Amino acid sequence: MIELREVLTPAGEVRIATRGEKLMGLAFLDGWPMVERHLARWFSDDEVRLLHGPNEVARHLDAYMAGDLDALAGIPLEVGGTRFQRRIWRAIQAVPAGETETYAELALVAEAPNAVRAAGSACGANPASLVIPCHRIIRADGDLGNYGGGIERKQWLLGHERRHAR
């Protein structure tokens, strides 16, 4: 069973999908439809239930929003995706809080240096925002590029991390 919970954060309301201790999806509510489609594709046999009250992922999210930038690092994931997407998502997780990498650097780290556009597409398909911190990925010209949660939220998240970085 996939459990959904909603959490209010300083950056907006977030919906979290978990099965047991594993995170399956996390997005700001305005970006949730993409995650919902992702869950339906990869986990279509699972029953989905909206629950109330915090869980372990919500507690980690609260700690991150309070300034503990390492709080999201150890959350176990079960996010589906293609082999390439999972490689890109692991590379995104390696970008330290408060820092950024370009889509080209991301493709290089994922051992697919010619797949810059595909790396960008994998960022856009990220079902676990913040835990797979795609807000840290920017364009080669320094422009922030796209973000499923909106550019203002991407700016807020990067500023939050820079304020609290060690």
Q: What are phi and psi of 128, to 5 degrees?
A: -135, 65
Whether the CB-CB separation of 4 and 50 falls below 8 Å is answered with yes
Q: Which of 66, 68, 64, 46 is nearest to 128 (CA)?
A: 64
Distances (CA, A) of 124 to 7, 50, 63, 89, 132: 22, 25, 25, 11, 11
Catalytic status, residue 134:
yes
Other Cβ atoms less than 10 A from the Cβ of 113: the count is 12
Count helices and strands (H / E) in the chain.
Answer: 6, 6
Gyration radius of the chain's alpha carbons? 15
Catalytic: which of 106, 119, 134, 137? 134
Q: Which residues are catalytic?
A: 134
